[in-house]
């Protein structure tokens, strides 16, 4: 009888080829396995693909829900407080600005801490800060309106640090604890975690509607709205406290210093793709906050009724849910790069069309509402998803959380830039010109994505 001889197993070229470049272009072949898992490590993580895998995805999802709830709740809270606590012009800007400053701080610091001590430990720390900030903002603000708004501002900075840290840690955790080397499966988990930011942005208005009917005073309503932001933190802490880190983190090697990162040219090119595109997207997205009230007012009519305002925001925010579902499907079918480029182009087209048609349609609420919803759909469909995915896809475990945090922080810087550059345009030239400018900036985002992002590899393993 013939005897079969086993073929010699080929060496893993990615692991053993030390001449292979350490850093790869954004979205190109996934980072070298010498910085990631060995095949045995990845297979070892697959043993946790049951309970641990399910817990990991709902922890990341709840973290993202908490982020947007705590960001968005201040808008409706200020309206609830307005009659009891008079608001000067600086109040809204201060309360929105401090949470952005805190978020940038949290993204930078907690991203680095995640690479230093572990994703789960860092996530426990950052959600603790978010929970403390949310609870304190609802329970410690007493006195006249100056004291109340001052205390809320201070506690929302702490809250901002906490929710800012969730960005890099939740994305990294979702990717690394997937139990899979398939890049698209990992991206799907990151996308599903990110999906819950939109329900998180919508829920403050749903919750406010409930509180307006069941609580008798504005005092109790606004305190419950703010303090409720701490509830997700308790569940996340309970689920994450004693979790073991993934093998990708355990085998990532020694920590890289910030100066080493800044000196690496290819790393900076990667950052141009992940952080630069995120910044451009947020410049465009947060600029819409200037003209959205005008358009919504023309569509639904003006009025200070809180119930009516809640329903208006629920309708507008709901447009993001089907957009995200569609975007996740397209990302899985065509890849991160293609979705981001197509997304920026679609946003540009929506801005140009609405900018050209705004004056002719300003007295036609129906068509104006249709084109506005199309714009909101496009804003949520493409780069909104991909900018969150890319850092977890591109960077190796040694710096994945750090670079994710830097990319997210650049996004928030873009949001601040957007509010400043659009205001003079809005005041001088009006909404149509502002929309055309936003469309042109979106085209820059498409060009930058085309230049810096290359197609992803199918799997982490050769």
Q: What pLDDT, on the 0 to 100 scale, is given for residue 414?
A: 94
Q: What pLDDT, on the 0 to 100 scale, is given for residue 178?
A: 78
Q: What pLDDT, on the 0 to 100 scale, is given for residue 86?
A: 86
Tell me, rounded to whole angstroms, the distance of Cα 197 from its chain centroid. Answer: 7
Beta bridge partners of 182: 459
Angle at alpha carbon of residue 222, lines to 219 and 225, rounded to 5°: 145
Mean pLDDT of 84-101: 85
- The number of C-alpha atoms within 13 Å of 265 and in the hemisphere containing its C-beta is 1
CB-based contacts of 60, cutoff 8 Å, min separation 6? 170, 171, 173, 174, 189, 190, 193
C-beta neighbour count of 416 within 10 angstroms = 16
Where does the pLDDT of residue 462 fall: very low under 50, low under 70, confident under 90, or very high at 90 and above?
very low
Angle at alpha carbon of residue 354, lines to 377 and 343, rounded to 5°: 40
Which CB contacts under 8 angstroms, 24+ apart, belong to 208-217? Answer: 208/76, 208/80, 208/306, 208/310, 209/307, 209/310, 209/311, 212/80, 212/306, 212/307, 212/310
Residue pair 118/400 in contact (Cβ under 8 Å)? The answer is no
- Alpha-carbon distance of 248 to 34, in angstroms, equals 10
Mean pLDDT of 336-361: 94
Q: What pLDDT, on the 0 to 100 scale, is given for residue 302?
A: 66
CB-based contacts of 314, cutoff 8 Å, min separation 6? 202, 205, 206
- Alpha-carbon distance of 193 to 161, in angstroms, equals 20
- Alpha-carbon distance of 185 to 148, in angstroms, equals 47
Burial class, 38, CB count within 10 angstroms (exposed 0-12 / middle 13-18 / buried 19+):
middle
- Alpha-carbon distance of 237 to 125, in angstroms, equals 9
Question: CA–CA distance from 56 to each of 68, 69, 123, 170, 175 (Å)?
Answer: 19, 20, 12, 9, 10
C-beta neighbour count of 146 within 10 angstroms = 12
The full DSSP string for 1-42 is: -----PPPPPP-HHHH-TTS-SS--TTSSPPPTTTS--HHHH
Is 70 exceeded by the pLDDT of residue 32?
Answer: no
- Alpha-carbon distance of 340 to 288, in angstroms, equals 19
Domains of the chain: 49-452 (1.20.1250.20)
Is 90 exceeded by the pLDDT of residue 1?
Answer: no
Q: What pLDDT, on the 0 to 100 scale, is given for residue 287?
A: 77
Q: What is the DSSP letter of 182?
A: B
Is 70 exceeded by the pLDDT of residue 8?
Answer: no
- Name the token pair of 248: 């990708």
Q: Does the CA dihedral 252-253-256-260 come out positive or negative?
A: negative
What is the average pLDDT score of the chain?
Answer: 84
Q: What pLDDT, on the 0 to 100 scale, is given for residue 258?
A: 65
CB-based contacts of 188, cutoff 8 Å, min separation 6? 328, 332
Mean pLDDT of 212-222: 92
Q: What pLDDT, on the 0 to 100 scale, is given for residue 456?
A: 65
Residue pair 107/412 in contact (Cβ under 8 Å)? The answer is yes
- Alpha-carbon distance of 52 to 70, in angstroms, equals 27
Mean pLDDT of 429-457: 91
C-beta neighbour count of 142 within 10 angstroms = 10
Q: What pLDDT, on the 0 to 100 scale, is given for residue 257?
A: 67
Interaxial angle between packed helices 145-176 and 51-81, expressed in degrees from 0 to 180 and rounded to the nearest 10: 160
pLDDT-above-70 percentage for the chain? 84
Is 80 exceeded by the pLDDT of residue 281?
Answer: yes
Mean pLDDT of 65-94: 89
Tell me, rounded to whole angstroms, the distance of Cα 271 from its chain centroid. Answer: 16
| Cα radius of gyration (the chain) | 23
Mean pLDDT of 131-159: 90
């Amino acid at each position: 009888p013939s005897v079969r001889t086993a073929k010699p197993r080929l060496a893993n070229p990615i692991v053993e080829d030390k001449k292979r470049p350490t850093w790869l272009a954004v979205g190109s072949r996934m980072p070298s396995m010498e910085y990631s898992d060995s095949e045995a490590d990845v297979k070892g993580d697959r043993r946790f693909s049951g309970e641990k895998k399910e817990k990991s995805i709902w922890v990341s999802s709840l973290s993202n829900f908490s982020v947007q709830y705590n960001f968005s709740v201040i808008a409706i809270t200020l309206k609830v407080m307005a009659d009891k606590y008079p608001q000067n012009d600086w109040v809204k800007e201060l309360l929105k600005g401090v949470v952005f400053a805190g978020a940038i701080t949290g993204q930078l610091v907690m991203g680095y801490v995640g690479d230093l001590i572990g994703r789960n430990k860092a996530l426990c720390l950052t959600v603790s800060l978010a929970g403390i900030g949310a609870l304190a903002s609802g329970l410690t603000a007493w006195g006249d309106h100056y004291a109340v708004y001052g205390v809320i501002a201070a506690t929302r900075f702490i809250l901002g640090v906490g929710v800012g840290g969730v960005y890099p840690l939740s994305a990294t955790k979702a990717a690394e604890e997937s139990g899979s080397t398939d890049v698209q499966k990992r991206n799907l988990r990151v996308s599903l975690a990110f999906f819950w930011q939109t329900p998180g942005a919508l829920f403050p208005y749903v919750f406010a509607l409930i509180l307006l009917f069941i609580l008798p005073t504005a005092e109790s309503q606004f305190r419950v709205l703010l303090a409720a932001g701490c509830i997700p933190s308790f569940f996340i802490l309970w689920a994450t406290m004693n979790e073991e880190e993934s093998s990708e983190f355990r085998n990532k090697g020694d920590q890289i210093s910030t100066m080493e990162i800044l000196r690496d040219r290819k790393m900076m090119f990667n950052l141009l793709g992940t952080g630069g595109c995120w910044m451009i997207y947020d410049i465009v997205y947060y600029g819409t906050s200037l003209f959205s009230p005008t358009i919504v007012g023309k569509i639904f009519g003006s009025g200070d009724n809180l119930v009516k305002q809640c329903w208006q925001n629920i309708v507008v925010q709901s447009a993001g849910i089907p957009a995200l579902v569609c975007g996740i499907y397209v990302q899985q079918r065509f890849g991160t790069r293609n979705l981001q480029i197509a997304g920026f182009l679609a946003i540009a087209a929506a801005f140009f069309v609405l900018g050209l048609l705004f004056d002719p349609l300003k007295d036609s609420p129906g068509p104006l509402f249709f084109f506005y919803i199309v714009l909101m759909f496009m804003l949520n469909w493409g780069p909104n998803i991909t900018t969150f995915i890319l850092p977890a896809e591109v960077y190796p475990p040694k710096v994945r959380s750090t670079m994710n945090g830097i990319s997210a922080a650049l996004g928030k810087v873009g949001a601040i830039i957007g509010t400043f550059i659009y205001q003079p345009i809005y005041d001088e030239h009006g909404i149509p010109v502002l929309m055309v400018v936003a469309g042109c900036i979106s085209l820059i985002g498409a060009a930058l994505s085309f230049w810096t992002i290359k197609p992803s590899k199918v799997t982490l393993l050769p």
